[in-house]
Amino acid sequence: MVHHRQLRISHAGLRGVVGRGLEAAHVLDFAAAFGTFLGPGPVVLGRDPRSSGVMIREGVIAALLAAGHDVVDLGVVSTPVIQHEIRLTGAVGGISIGASHNTAEWNALKFFASRGTYLSTAEATELLDLYHLRKFRFVEHTGLGKLRLEPNAIDRYLDQLADVFDLRALAGYKVLVDCCNGTSSLILRRMAGRFGLNFVLINEQIEGMSFAHEPATNARMVSLQLAPLMKPLAADAGFLFDIDSDRVAIACEDGAPVSEEMILPMIADYLLPRGPGKLVITNLSTTALVEEVACRHGGKVVRVPVGRQAAMDALATYRPEQIAVAGEGTGAVMMPQFRFVYDGIASMLAILSLMQHHEKKLSEIVNGYPAYSILKDELPLASQRIPALMMELKSQYADGWIDMRDGLRVGWPDRWFHVRVSQTEPVVRIIAEQKGEPPAALFDALMEQVRSLA
Amino acid sequence: MREHRLKIGVSGIRGVVGDFLTPSLACSFAQAFGAFVGAGRVVLGRDTRSSGEMLQHAIACGLLASGCEVVDVGIQPTPTIQVYVGASRARGGISVTASHNPPEYNALKLFNHEGLFFNHYERRELLDIYYESEFRHAANHEIRGIARDTETPMRLHTERILRQVDVARIKARRFRVALDAVNGAGSVLSCRFLERALGCDLRAISVDPTRPFPREAEPRPDTLGELQELVRRNRADAGFAQDPDGDRLAVVDEQGNVLDNDDVLALVVDTVFSSMPGDVAVNLTTSSVIEDIAQLHGRRVYRTAVGEANVVDMMRAVDAVIGGEGANGGVIFPAVQYCRDSYTAMALLLDLMERTGEPVSALAGRLPRYYRRQGKVAFEHGLLGPLIQALEEKFPDAAADHTDGLKLLLKDAWIHVRASNTEPLVRFSIEARSAERADALYALATKTGDRLPVPHFSS
């Protein structure tokens, strides 16, 4: 396989193709920067099963010990397990080694604050500055940290889930899960053993060299992996996880994939009546079905720019009890009960609990919501043309509600569009949604307008 | 004098842990090592200093990133690692240890596939790779894992040594032995080795690998008071002191006196000569007592520049049966491995005690007596050359050996001046048949050369 050199250093941390961009030196420097950034105290560490994780783990441990931090290594676990363990043990921070939905040759470092959540923008900026300065605080030989192995974190994580969801009540469902050779199988096997849930696991072998398929959590992958098995197995629901189990994709009992756009509205529907929080935090590109669901329960949607960083910063501006749920159209969801950790397994339990509460099949629940049609595409555009594009669109669609916090979003009572610049690639993303039929004319006009400026 | 807190050079990488010897440096050095030995198995172990764990992880990272498989042997004496590397199919080995240096230091000892120290040329090649940063960056599917094996190295090392001595007879004597392992890498193996393998009645101190070094790391006569006391109190037959990575040995006789390291080597050479054919190789600073012993047995003595790798290179070239570095307390016995090894030295000494039935003081007392003086001054540019010239002018009739600085061979004495390999120092060694002659030569040598500062004395 030929790969381009790939390395991305950003507020989200460090990500790249191992040996073809992401090298040991980056790992040591980034971990040393994080060790310098944190106050004194232990740091929790875990990894997904990629082979390169063993190498990266050694580098991360060395740098953290050198910076004077004790390291608590959870071994191969999902990212949410690491995040919960940070909070439960009073650690000063944590690192997850794993590239989530990327293919096996990728790896990444994700950094967490003592709250167990991703770093805020201000914190991530500070970390990047320390990384670029390379002025690390290494302690003398008498102050070096110690490594400790902690094998029981998964059980403590399951205790947290069992506090929120009635796991035994879900034992009647037959649930098909594609683990994609990732960490979810470790957790689900243990969960089945302790609480009697009925999982049928496929691709459940933990693998480091390559995965059974691309670990993408989307409808296409559900159609390929879960759909053909749902009816033969008579499964009630199907779930597909990425490697570190922070994201999930879903299949109905009839094999139909559930759009990833549906996951946040469904979980909001389940959580809004069950907690004090009335706010749903999501980004400007997420379906308007969220507003409709929130309305039913007397809730309110707070929209923020696209990206994890904006979501983390928005969470910091509200008290946790004000919030019902936060998430995005990709299916990544955070719940206040779990201290705002993106968690695919918690999302799965919320969906199963929703089925159990309504005593309905999953397809009936999904089809019970009003239909929204969304169209998405992307086009390359030179950066210097972007302001002109935005101003042109703004004046052209001046009759709608204008939001310019992240590109341009214009809304009308039954439709909206969002034109924004990707943070990861030099492209403009165009999204338009309408209640009922697809907004084809609006979408085509937008695409044409971007093309004319290219 | 510059504070010598980090040194990267042909002798590897050595420094004070913290701002100087960082995990990043250790990792890139390990990547250079991995690139040099190739993507195979590499044995990795360490001594007990507090920075060992951190550095071991950094090195494992670098080795894995180069596509090597790491065999983690944990805390092990350096000679044990060298035996294991030689016996396994590893491409090489790394011991994380600063040997006899103070605890704030750490360093890497590098071994080739035979478990031998890299020679000069191997070290130079490795350094080139390090400076050019031409590393191999393994992709995910090329990255191998870490295997752990802490028992096999100790078992192999012990077996190799036991084949060379009369175990049954040593056991039968049940020698009472005092041990000071400086809480170092030998703490576990030394107790097992002396007590279980050789049946000694062991009285040990400083054998807790989790605790810091209780004395200066180098086993010198002025730092072994506790061991001397232990020998006297327990009426032990002998006392053994190791350095933190178990390559050096100091010996205390049954009266509680610390033996001269040159005499320890001489006793070992004597006992090996008594049972095996072959010659001996030692460094230029080792005592002439080795020539005396060799003459008795009709063997040859080969002299080399100071440094374990130099002695080993010579031993292999001339197929020597025994060798070592006298002043440093290092015995090299190829039947076990081409490395300085305190365990081999302990076993051979116990074997000698068993065969002769004599106490250590009597064995040492029969050796020809020499008087030694050592000193050092800070190295400065332009210091060593004029000093060597001046000394040669002063002793025009003496044979001069320029292999490592200057060694002047007088009729009843010798003078050796050289630059240290590891520290910015010029070292003086003098040996003579009488104390007066040694003192006189020392005074003369250190006054030679008009630019010489006053040397620091230690004898």
For B11-26, what is the mean pLDDT?
89
Under CATH, what is the fold of the domain A7-151? Alpha-D-Glucose-1,6-Bisphosphate; Chain A, domain 3 (3.40.120)
- Euclidean distance between CA atoms B122 and B310, whole angstroms: 13
pLDDT exceeds 50 at position B1: no
pLDDT of residue B73: 98
CATH code for the domain defined by A156-254: 3.40.120.10
Q: What is the count of structural domains for chain B?
A: 3
What is the signed CA dihedral for A22, A24, A30, A34, rounded to 10 degrees?
140
pLDDT of residue A179: 97
Residue B33: inside a domain: yes
Q: What is residue B47's DSSP assignment? A: -
* B23, B104, B137 ranked by CB distance to A23: nearest: B137
Q: How confident is the model at residue B422 (pLDDT cuts 50, 70, 90)?
A: confident
- Euclidean distance between CA atoms A237 and A358, whole angstroms: 15
Residue % of chain A over a pLDDT of 90? 90
Range in A149-158, A260-269, B147-156, B391-400 with the lowest mean pLDDT: B391-400
Contacts of A54 in chain B (CB under 8 A): 64, 143, 145-146
pLDDT of residue B458: 43
Residue B146 pairs with which residues in a beta bridge? B70
Q: Give yes or no for a contact between B147 and B139, defined as CB atoms under 8 angstroms apart.
A: no
Q: Kindly report, residue by residue over A324-370, the tens digit of the pLDDT.
A: 999 998 889 999 988 889 999 999 999 999 999 999 999 999 999 99
Is B99 an annotated catalytic residue?
A: yes
Q: Kindly report, residue by residue over B95-110, the tens digit of the pLDDT.
A: 999 988 889 999 999 9
Give the minimum alpha-carbon distance from A73 to chain B in angstroms, rounded to a whole number. 13
* B24, B64, B146 ranked by CB distance to A25: nearest: B24
Residue B173: inside a domain: yes
Beta-carbon count within 10 A of B319 CB: 11
Using the Cβ of A33 and the Cβ atoms of chain B, whether some distance falls under 8 Å is answered with no
pLDDT of residue B60: 98
In sequence order, what are the residues at sequence separation of 6 or more whose Cβ sits closer than 8 angstroms to the Cβ of residue B417? B384, B387, B388, B391, B405, B406, B426, B427, B428, B429, B445
- Euclidean distance between CA atoms A320 and A326, whole angstroms: 11
Which CATH superfamily does the domain covering A372-453 fall into?
Answer: Alpha-D-phosphohexomutase, C-terminal domain (3.30.310.50)
**Domain extent at residue B303:** 156-365
- Euclidean distance between CA atoms A179 and A215, whole angstroms: 9
CA A165 to centroid of chain Cα atoms: 20
Instruction: Give the domain-ending residue among B365, B389, B406.
Output: B365
For A312-330, what is the mean pLDDT?
92
pLDDT of residue B220: 86
Q: What is residue B341's DSSP assignment? A: -
Reported as half-sphere exposure (CB side, CA atoms, 13 A), residue A437 has a value of: 4
Range in A86-100, B61-75, B389-403 with the lowest mean pLDDT: B389-403
Reported ipTM:
0.90
State the CATH number of the domain containing residue B398: 3.30.310.50
pLDDT exceeds 70 at position B87: yes
Best mutation site among A57, A65, A103, A134 for testing chain B: the one with the most B CBs within 10 Å? A65
For A182-204, what is the mean pLDDT?
97
Tokens representing residue B322 in the block: 């025994």
Same domain, B84 and B204: no
For B309-327, what is the mean pLDDT?
94
**Helix, strand, coil % (nearest 5) of chain B?**
40, 25, 35
Same domain, B134 and B202: no
Using the Cβ of A56 and the Cβ atoms of chain B, whether some distance falls under 8 Å is answered with yes
Residue ranges in B283-326 assigned as alpha helix (H): 289-297, 308-318
Same domain, B210 and B99: no
Q: Give yes or no for a contact between A133 and B42, defined as CB atoms under 8 angstroms apart.
A: no
Instruction: Give the domain-ending residue among B365, B397, B422.
Output: B365
pLDDT of residue A339: 84
Q: How confident is the model at residue B424 (pLDDT cuts 50, 70, 90)?
A: confident
Start-end of CATH 3.40.120.10 domains in chain A: 7-151, 156-254, 261-368
Using the Cβ of A63 and the Cβ atoms of chain B, whether some distance falls under 8 Å is answered with yes
pLDDT of residue A426: 79
Q: How confident is the model at residue B8 (pLDDT cuts 50, 70, 90)?
A: confident
For B242-254, what is the mean pLDDT?
96
Using the Cβ of A69 and the Cβ atoms of chain B, whether some distance falls under 8 Å is answered with no
Q: How confident is the model at residue B456 (pLDDT cuts 50, 70, 90)?
A: very low
Average pLDDT, chain B: 93
Contacts of B50 in chain A (CB under 8 A): 141-142, 144
Q: Kindly report, residue by residue over B368-388, the tens digit of the pLDDT.
A: 999 999 888 887 777 888 889
pLDDT exceeds 90 at position A439: yes
- Write out residues 126-145 of B within 8 Å (CB-CB) of A: 135, 137-145
pLDDT of residue A221: 95
Q: What is residue B193's DSSP assignment? A: I
Residue B1: inside a domain: no
In sequence order, what are the residues at sequence separation of 6 or more whose Cβ sits closer than 8 angstroms to the Cβ of residue A414? A434, A435, A436
Using the Cβ of B97 and the Cβ atoms of chain A, whether some distance falls under 8 Å is answered with no
Dihedral sign from CA coordinates of A258, A263, A268, A274: positive
For A308-317, what is the mean pLDDT?
90
* A54, A141, A146 ranked by CB distance to B103: nearest: A141
In sequence order, what are the residues at sequence separation of 6 or more whose Cβ sits closer than 8 angstroms to the Cβ of residue B412? B432, B433, B434, B437
pLDDT exceeds 50 at position A408: yes
Question: In CATH, what is the architecture of A261-368?
Answer: 3-Layer(aba) Sandwich (3.40)
* B54, B65, B103 ranked by CB distance to A23: nearest: B65
pLDDT of residue B10: 65
Same domain, B264 and B348: yes
Tokens representing residue A414 in the block: 């039954």
